[in-house]
A and B are shown apart, each in its own frame.
Chain A
Amino acid sequence: MTWGDTDIQTLQRQADRRRQWGRFGLYAGAILFAFLAAFPFSWALISMFKQSNDLYVKENNPFWFNEAPTLEHMRLLFLDTNYLTFITNTIFVGLVVTAITLLIALPAAYALARLRLRWGERLGIAIFLVYLIPPTLLFIPMTRVITSLGLQESLWSLILVYPTITIPISAWLLMGFFKGIPMDLEEQAMVDGHSRIGAIARVVLPLMFPGIIAVTVFAFTLASHEFIYALAFNKSSAVKTIATGVPTELIRGDVFFWQSLQGAVILIAIPIALIFNAFLDRFIKGFTMGAVKG
């Protein structure tokens, strides 16, 4: 059978139409998802600058300014609440936890990725499973442990406990990054007379730098997200993090400081989301590589 010109043209037209519908569906879907995901945030972004006699009128359009925007509630947030304390606490806890995480997870990940341990595969899976044990199961005895160590009402309670959340997932990610570095490089360095640890320090770690940055971002984000332990261990506002401080201190009884509250959320969520986005592709690569057999 031979193809007539008209047949080819019809097929071509069908394919074109299909492609056009495909593009249309793609954009419609992308816009719909973006809208659904960002809706409450976009709304918070406007509310944070609203005057009270604009925000608290039931009939006013909630999606735009009916009165002139104001920075009044942002001033309140930074000067009259403990918001800055919560931020400093979160950064301090995040940094120390990330440092502990790297110190412990880096060697473990290297061992799992490179040393061809007899029980390596199982240990790798076991470490991953630890990540799946939710704080919900542990927070009650953990609160007792923290109290008996005298660490309650202190940031050190969080610093001690958060690595249990960050180490397993970071070790898994780092394992993936180690597998992405050719084994020959360090073998060559060892042939050249370096010890194994010397080869790791001189050849492998510099190549791991992007991976280490990615894990730093990931561990820091996890630490800043944590809610249950922070709520259970620390009740005085001087030692609260953003995750617990904002929901508990800016809502007093039934009085909500809505504009300040919305501002507090936006000013944290947007920077974290921007940084996380920049590293997303690297996270995906690390997780997929971690599952590859070394």
Chain B
Amino acid sequence: MTTTTATKQRYLGDNPRFLAGLFMSPAVLYIIALVGFPFVLAIIYAFTDISTGNPELEFVGWATFRRVLADPVFREALWNTFLFAVIANVMVVVLATALAEILVRDFKGKWLVRFLVLLPWVAPVSLATITWLWTLDSIFSPIDWVLRQLGLITENMYWLGQPGTAMTSVIAVQTWRIVPLAAVIVMAGLIAIPSDITDAVAVDGAGFWRRMFQVTIPLLAPIIAVAVLFGLILTISDMSVVYVLTRGGPTNSTQVLSTWAFIKGIEGGALAQGAAVALFLLPVLIAITAIVLRLARRREVM
């Protein structure tokens, strides 16, 4: 041990504390300058009435928040964000767990299945969403074509043109996109479960469903929680799906906080109001952060 310590001190770069500072500082500085600073700026903006037309920082206290809250569109966006996140993530958990159970097994053509199920996640999100824009087209939708052929409908569904079906579509597309990622996360957890546990239970005569609900799912719970965290953050903060599919329409019925912040702040130029709208995501984010930290700590104990 003494020899290694002696060797370590021969060069300046061998001092661990010096090396740690040297290695860590670029990353830390980059993050502080381009995440920390804009984050503080976002909070400052929300207490001013800055806009692209009036870029002066004039503090107005809570006035901007009050204006944002008084807007019925904002309340609709807040409720939609909540609704989208909860419904989409319940579906994501169920589907991703099932998909992960399939993908850890060996079967013929597995590489093709894996390639196809990952497509929604690995294709750039705005492009993947475009394929749905056409699939849900008001006139030429292939889904409508099938339904017409089956005699289930005579008129088209206008998926994105009516509030109810537009909501359903946005939630479905969001779920479709996140399931592959969640499945990969759960898969990593499944691989980590020692197979002798599941084998032992199988030998004891437990069937598939009992094994699933009494052994696999309880063991998987922490990793499913991680998948849900990613899913929640993606559904709550992502605006690409809504923006490409409906731009929040028809008449703001699919508006969410992220699209509303973009429409207000960037397209409308009301920077302060946009920042205030986006800041409503912060409490949710902090709650999620707390859960992540708690999970991380629990794993340490184990």
Contact = CB atoms under 8 A, between A and B. Distances in A.
Interface string B231-251: 001001111100110000000
Interface stretch (A70-78, A191-199, A207-215): A191-199
A125 B111 CA distance: 33
A225 B266 contact: no
Interface in B6-50: 7-8, 10-11, 13-14, 16, 19-20, 22-24, 26-28, 30-31, 34-35, 37-39, 41-42, 45
A276 B120 CA distance: 12
B118 A273 contact: yes
B85 interface: no
A92 interface: no
Contact of B271 (A44, A62, A144): A144
B22 A140 contact: no
Interface of B: 3-4, 7-8, 10-11, 13-14, 16, 19-20, 22-24, 26-28, 30-31, 34-35, 37-39, 41-42, 45, 55, 95, 98-99, 102, 105, 107, 109-120, 122-132, 134-135, 139-140, 142, 145, 176, 179-180, 184, 187-188, 191-192, 207-208, 229, 233, 236-240, 243-244, 257-258, 261-262, 265-266, 271, 274-275, 278-279, 281-282, 285, 288-289, 292-293, 296, 299-300
B213 to A, nearest CB: 16
B124 A242 contact: yes
A44 B134 contact: yes
A107 B30 contact: no
Contacts of A141: 38-39, 41-42, 45, 275
Interface residues of A, number: 102
Interface string A263-288: 01100110011101100100110011
B13 A265 contact: no
Given A168-B31, A190-B7, A195-B13, A134 B130 contact: no
Contacts of B142: 43, 62-63
A105 B13 contact: no
A200 to B, nearest CB: 9
A132 interface: yes
Contacts of B37: 145
A138 interface: yes
B4 A187 contact: yes
Nearest to B208: A22
A119 B258 CA distance: 34
A265 B127 contact: yes
A185 interface: no
A110 to B, nearest CB: 6
Given A43-B142, A141-B38, A111 B19 contact: yes
Contacts of A224: 124
Contact of A143 (B28, B188, B266): B266
B27 A30 contact: no
Contact of A138 (B11, B42, B140, B238): B42
B30 A273 contact: no
A225 B184 contact: no
B39 A137 contact: yes
Given A104-B27, A144-B41, A272 B123 contact: yes
Given A115-B23, A227-B126, 5 more contacts: A33-B113, A103-B26, A108-B28, A137-B39, A139-B265
A99 interface: no
B11 A164 contact: no
Contacts of A273: 115, 118-119, 122-123
A264 B133 CA distance: 14
B160 to A, nearest CB: 13
A182 B95 CA distance: 38
Contacts of B123: 41, 265, 268-269, 272-273
Contact of A139 (B140, B207, B262, B292): B262
A134 B127 CA distance: 20
A136 to B, nearest CB: 4
A274 B115 contact: yes
Contacts of A55: 140
A1 interface: no
14 contacts: A30-B109, A37-B118, A104-B30, A132-B285, A140-B275, A144-B41, A145-B41, A168-B31, A227-B240, A228-B262, A276-B122, A277-B115, A280-B118, A288-B192
Contact of B125 (A225, A262, A287): A225
Nearest to B16: A115
A39 B130 contact: no
B38 A142 contact: yes
Nearest to A21: B208
Contact of A129 (B11, B188, B258, B289): B289
A44 B132 CA distance: 9
B180 to A, nearest CB: 7
A119 B171 CA distance: 41
B288 A132 contact: yes
A107 B4 contact: no
B180 A30 contact: no
A232 interface: yes
Contacts of A44: 131, 134
Contacts of A104: 26-27, 30
